[in-house]
Structure 1
Amino acid sequence: MSEPTFRQNLPDSGKATPWLGGVMILLFVMTPVLGYFAQLGFAPLLALVGLLALPVMGRPRAPVAPALILLLLALWGAWSMTWSPAAPPPGSLKAYDDIEKLTAAKLLLQLALYGAAVAAALRLSTRAADRASTFIGFGVLALAILVGGDALIGAKIFQKLRELTGDPVRPDIAKVKIGIGCYVLAVLFWPAAAALARRGKHPAVVLLLAGVIAASVLASADSCLVALGVGLLVWALIKFGGKAGGGVLTLAVAVPFVVAPIAVLAAIQTGFWAWLHGLVPPSWDARLNIWAFAADHVQTHPFRGWGLDASRTFGDAIPLHTHNAQLQLWLELGAVGAALAGAFFCWLAYGVTRTAETDRGSAATAGAALTSYLVIGALSFGVWQEWWIAIGALAIVACVALRRSSSEYGDELVEISPLG
């Protein structure tokens, strides 16, 4: 599609979008609630936002390329179930609950509904986007204060709330539960901080950062601290390096999707892996074992992979997933799946690069959020976890709203990337 056609399809940034604006405000009002109390709820929340947006969407406005890439990835995953050891036995899918458990089916639904949520953000008027971005900033700040404060007192607030709902939890479980909120904070910190800074609330930005760091330290969420640190480097790289910094980001995003299993195998052969084993704490030592096992088994089916959800079938060698998105993609969907996923994230990174030409602030924010999401995904969660995919969609929506609220908003947003 030519550039003029894209511009003809652009939503009018001055046109009123009260319904979509209200839907976005609902999304960001619920973010601190779910981020603290029920992180798994982000999946149904993003699905609800997509459903609420569909009646007023009209013609799709979001760029076609990323949706097509993700559709191909979902279809490849569905086809891989024909050889996956995790495939359900024939005839076992007799009820909705059985079908709902299929990762392939959920990926297609998520693409449709989460994609509608992102497309809705692209249609926001400047005023509606500005209002939504206000809720982004103060909502995430509230989450940081709540998670950080409760972590400081041993998650007693969380325990009390669970008691009131008739579902009490042990103190150690409560600490783990609120600790998951740190991962939400690490990703959403960037658009929230930008939204607060635009309103001149610089002390609030400092408080937000202190809350995220304190919560991550108290909850032992090491990968959140790594994500924040790397995100800060990327933010500075793009803020001060502009388009050149975005180019470095795109390359940095691409490399792990290409070389992840090769890099692990090379590190094992050279003895570097054994050296790492002697340095890291038990939780990271376990990750090293999982990554080594996964990289070794990638060699069995390097092109097609073992099949969707195959990571769950290796017993104690891989508890549920690989704790690394790139290795899980290689292991389950092979080079095809890793290439498709890598192409999607590189497309987002390239969008950041293009945005840096006209708005370095928004580009730096989006690049840092993208980096934080990928870093945590490379260290902590399974790539198909619904709530974690929803957090990625939420981060895109937040960056889109922030970008559309800017007086410098331009046509390049639709041409390149919803993260721009």
Structure 2
Amino acid sequence: MPAAQTSPGRWTAGVIAGLLVLTPLLGWAGSLGFAPAVALAGLLTALSVRIRTEDRALLLALFTALVWACASAFWSPWRPADLEGQTGLKLVFMLALYGCAVSAARAVPKFRLPRLLSGLATSAGMLAFLLLFEAVTSAAGYKVLLGLIGQAVRPDYAIKNVAQGLYVLTLLAPPALAAVSGRTRWVLGGLLGAGIIGPALVFGYDAPLLALACAVLAAGLVLGLPFLGPRLLAGLSAGGVLLAPVLAKGAFALGLDERIAPFLSESWLQRLGYWRKAVEWIWARPLPGWGLDASRAFGPGIQLHPHNAPLQIWMELGLIGAVAAAIVWAAIFSGLSRPTRTPAAAAASATAVAYLVFGAVSFGVWQEWWLALGALSALACILVLRARPIDVSARSV
């Protein structure tokens, strides 16, 4: 085959491989680094963009949400102090660059996929090992890193930053497992499970455990019902986004928050307070919303964002934003429907559900590194959906 035909595929595969190599380091030492890393990968692979006919609904919903979000900035009470705070402008670049990175996974020639699958599995395994080491040593490795770069070593700061890697590992674990087969899958599954559960218990982080449980249930549903399961998840995710204010208001009206409050930690109680305030603001202006980044202006009742993606979308972008988000998730899950049982589709469903769970309890919708991690997770899922799993244990050395 001529070099002109092989070079683009080799380049795209090399960029993705480099991103996978960086993943354990970023997951351990600096999750914020996912934003520039994924953006750079998208820029370097922009010429390989592939848009399919079946992506039109998803892309139209994303474009509608982007235009509406940028327009809503004009009536938002939040006014950024500098260019760095211009979320609408950043969203334009993020959608373009992160989208190119995701699309690059489709442009990789199939004969190059096995190496990338091996890299994905290795990357997830290395991150799991790093998190286990940090859990056993109380983040000793990260503390050494802070000392080397001249930053003050605060134990709580070190643990908080290292624990961010749990979100990365939980999202990448399903496609990493789908990337391998044979006894390799069992060994890797044990390592990844320990790398999530152990550090989560040691560091006192509940969200990864909740996301992991939901991801396992989603994978089981799709494995059991390969055609209907993803469609059920599509309906649940879209309905959850559209009905979030109604469900939350009903729960508060029934006093469910007061009943479970004695069993919750301080961080969960704080979230309940944010959600109650967000519901009040949503019902005060449900159609247009309060504008992009408006939740930043509603302190002290809400600090930065409501820590719930559907409520934040409703609060800032109103009904139009909520409908667009519902279409996005419905399109993602519906696209995973298969006539026969497919581990890769189950893994992709599990990752999508985990991302939804994390978004519902932890992060702001517009955080650059969080959106970049979503793009990286989508990229990993596309790789395993396009390839057959490899059995590393069966290879001759």
- After TM superposition, is the score higher than 0.5? yes
For 1:309 and 1:175, locate their aligned partners in 2 and report how far apart those are by CA, in whole Å.
28
The reply to whether residue 304 of structure 1 matches residue 299 of structure 2 is no
The Cα of 1:215 is off from its aligned counterpart by: 1.6
Deviation, 1:359, is 5.1
CA distance in structure 1 between the aligned counterparts of 2:50 and 2:235, rounded to whole angstroms: 33
Is 2:344 the partner of 1:352?
no
The aligned counterpart of 2:394 is none
* Equivalent position SS for 2:361: coil
- Give yes or no for contact 1:124–1:404 (8 Å, CA) kept in 2: no
Structure 2 vs 1, CA of residues 58 and 326 (structure 1 numbering), >3 Å: closer, same or farther? closer
Partner of 2:288, secondary structure, is coil
How many angstroms apart in 2 are the aligned matches of 1:334 and 1:168? Answer: 42
Root mean square deviation of aligned Cα: 1.9
**C-alpha distance after superposition, 1:244-296 (max 9, x if no partner):** 21222112211211111111111122222221223322111111111011001
Partner of 1:361: 343
CA distance in 2, matches of 1:375, 1:83: 30
Question: 1:207 offset after TM fit, Å?
Answer: 1.4
1:237 to 186, 207, 221: 221
**Residue 39 of structure 1: aligned partner:** 31
Deviation at 1:16, TM superposition (A): 7.6
Q: Give distance in 1, aligned partners of 2:298 and 2:44.
A: 40
Aligned to 2:177: 193
Is 2:61 the partner of 1:69?
A: yes
- Separation in structure 1 between the aligned mates of residue 49 and residue 64 of structure 2, nearest angstrom: 24
- Quick check: 1:17 aligned with 2:9? yes
1:397 aligns with 2:389: no
Q: Quote the Cα distance in structure 1 between the aligned partners of 2:196 and 2:7.
A: 36
1:64 CA displacement: 3.2
Instruction: Report if the CA contact (8 A) 2:227-2:340 is conserved.
Output: no
Equivalent residue in structure 2 for 1:319, among 303, 326, 333: 303
**Secondary structure of 2:114's match?**
helix
Q: Aligned equivalents of 2:8 and 2:149: distance in 1?
A: 40
How many Å apart are 1:41 and its aligned residue?
0.4
Using the TM superposition, give the Cα deviation of residue 59 of structure 1 relative to its aligned residue in structure 2, in angstroms: 6.2
Q: List per-residue Cα deviations over 1:40-77 (Å, max 9, x = no partner).
A: 000000100001102x4266458333222112111101
Please tell me the residue identity of whatever aligns with 2:387. Answer: S
How far apart are residue 82 of structure 1 and its match?
A: 1.1
* Deviation by residue 1:299-321 (Cα, 9 ceiling, x = unmatched): 11101101100111111211111
Q: Decide whether the 8 Å contact of 1:125 with 1:404 is kept in 2.
A: no
Residue 372 of structure 1 pairs with residue 363 of structure 2: no
Would the alpha carbon gap of residues 61 and 50 (structure 1) be closer, same or farther in structure 2, given more than 3 Å must change? farther
| 8 Å CA contact retained: 1:138, 1:196 | no
**Counterpart in 1 of 2:254?**
270
Instruction: Report the CA distance shift for 1:59/1:344 in structure 2 as closer, same or farther (over 3 A).
Output: closer
CA distance in 1 between counterparts of 2:113 and 2:67 reads 33
- Equivalent position SS for 1:196: coil
Tell me the residue number matched to 1:386: 368
Is the alpha carbon distance of 1:282 and 1:59 closer, same or farther for their aligned partners in structure 2, counting shifts above 3 Å? closer
Structure 1 counterpart of 2:217, which letter?
L
1:218-233 pair list within 5 angstroms: 218-233=202-217
Q: Which residue does 1:335 correspond to in 2?
A: 319
In structure 2, the partner of 1:168 is 152
Answer yes or no: is the 8 Å Cα contact 2:20–2:119 preserved in 1: yes
Q: Deviations over 1:135-184 (max 9, x none)?
A: 11110110011012112211011000111122232111101110011011
Within 5 Å, give how 1:134-213 maps onto structure 2.
Answer: 134-197=118-181, 200-213=184-197
The normalised TM-score by structure 2 is: 0.92
Q: Is contact 1:16–1:128 with CA below 8 Å preserved after alignment? A: no
Match of 1:288 among 261, 272, 281: 272
Report the counterpart of residue 392 of structure 2 in structure 1. Answer: none
Distance 1:50 1:254, change over 3 A: same
Aligned identity (percent) is: 38
* Gap regions ≥5 residues in structure 2: 1-5, 390-397
Structure 1 CA distance for aligned equivalents of residues 351 and 367 of structure 2: 19
The AA in structure 1 aligned to 2:32 is L
Change (3 A) 1:60 1:267: closer
Give the structure 2 partner of residue 410 of structure 1.
Answer: none
Q: Secondary structure at the match of 1:316?
A: coil
The residue type paired with residue 127 of structure 1 is F
Q: What is the one-letter code of the residue matched to 1:64?
A: R
After superposition, give the CA deviation of every residue in 1:309-354 in whole Å (9 maximum; x if it has no partner).
011111121111101000000111111111111110110010112x
Structure 1: gaps (5+ residues)? 1-13, 93-97, 408-420
* Aligned equivalents of 1:358, 1:150: Cα separation in 2: 41
**Kindly tell me: are residues 105 and 186 of structure 1, through their superposed partners in 2, closer, same or farther at Cα, counting changes over 3 Å?**
same
* CA distance in 1: counterparts of 2:84 and 2:264, whole angstroms: 39
Q: CA deviation at 1:15?
A: 10
Conserved? CA contact 1:61–1:119, under 8 Å: no
> Does the aligned pair in 1 maintain the 2:177–2:185 contact within 8 Å?
no
Amino acid corresponding to residue 42 of structure 1 in structure 2: F
- Tell me by how many angstroms 1:406 deviates: 2.4
Are residues 1:131 and 2:122 paired? Answer: no
**Number of aligned residues:** 384
Equivalent in the alignment of 1:95? none
| Cα distance in structure 2, aligned partners of 1:71 and 1:99 | 22
Letter in 2 for 1:24: I
SS at match of 2:152: coil
